Amino acid sequence: MSENMQNCQMTFPLIGDAAPEFTARTTNGVVHFPKDYAGHWVVLFSHPMDFTPVCTTEFLAFQSKMHDFNRINTEIIGLSVGAISSHLAWIRSIYNDIGFNGWKNVKITFPVIADMDLAVSKLYGMIHLGASETKTVRAVFIVDPHGIIRTILYYPQTTGRNIDEILRILIALQTNDAFGLSTPADWWPGMPVVEPLPDTVADMHKRMEIKNKNTQTWYLTFRNLSESKIYEKLTRKKR
C-alpha cells in the first residue's frame, strides 16, 4: 500500500453515531455542520468530481424533488473535492446547457461543499481506496434533527442514485419515529406497516389469539396506516 493510501486511512462513522462536526465553504456560504441544520433532517451526499455526466443527472434529480424533501423537513447538501469556482461554473452550466428527463434550465439551490483538501470526505469515510485515492464514492448520509446518522448508502462512481429511494427511506424513518412502527420491503406511504415484536411470552400468545388478515404469525403483524395520516404527522411542523 502506498504512503498516500496509508495517509488516507480513516474511521467511518456508523448508523447511530453523532454526525461528525465540520465547518466548510459551500456554494451558499459557510456551513457549520450539523449545527446549522439542528431541527431538520439532512441528506448529505458526495459526488466524485464536478462536470461529470452521472453527477450532473443526480443534481437535476435532487433538485426536482426539493419540494418533496422540504415537505418532510429535509435539507439537501452536496459535496465534491472541487473548488468553489468549479462548483459555480458547473451549476451555471447545468442551468444553461443541460436537459435531462424533461428538466431544463434548472437552478441548483442546495449548497455544495468545496472539499479540496478531502477533510470532510475523510471525516465521513467517503473515499474508498479500492475505488480512488482522490475521488469520493457516491455516499449518502441521512442525519436526523438531533444530529444522529440514521442511514448510510454507498454507490460506485458509475451508478447514479435513485432519489426516490432516498426520499422513501426518509419517510420510513420519520414514520417509525412518529408512530413506533416499522416498514416492510418495498414500502411506500399508504401500504401496511409492521407492528413491533412482542416483548414477552404473554404478548406473543395474545398476538396469536388475534384472528385477522393482518396477523401472519406472532412475529409478523401488519397495521393499516393511511398515507394522509402519515403526512399529517410528518408535515405538522412547518419550516
DSSP string, 17-32: SBPPPEEEEETTEEEE
Cell numbers that stand for 53 in this block: 455526466
DSSP string, 123-141: HTT---TTT-SSS--EEEE
Cell numbers that stand for 96 in this block: 444553461
Catalytic residues: 55
CA dist., res. 44 & res. 139, Å (int): 8
Q: Estimate the crossing angle of helix 227-234 against helix 163-179, to 10 degrees.
A: 80
Cell numbers that stand for 28 in this block: 451558499
- Sequence-ordered list of residues with C-beta below 8 angstroms from that of 91, at least 6 positions apart, any chain: 27, 59, 108, 112
CA dist., res. 221 & res. 194, Å (int): 6
Question: Regarding beta strands 74-80 and 112-114, do their DSSP bridges make them parallel or antiparallel, or are they unpaired?
Answer: parallel
What is the sign, positive or negative, of the torsion defined by CA atoms of 114, 115, 116, 119?
positive
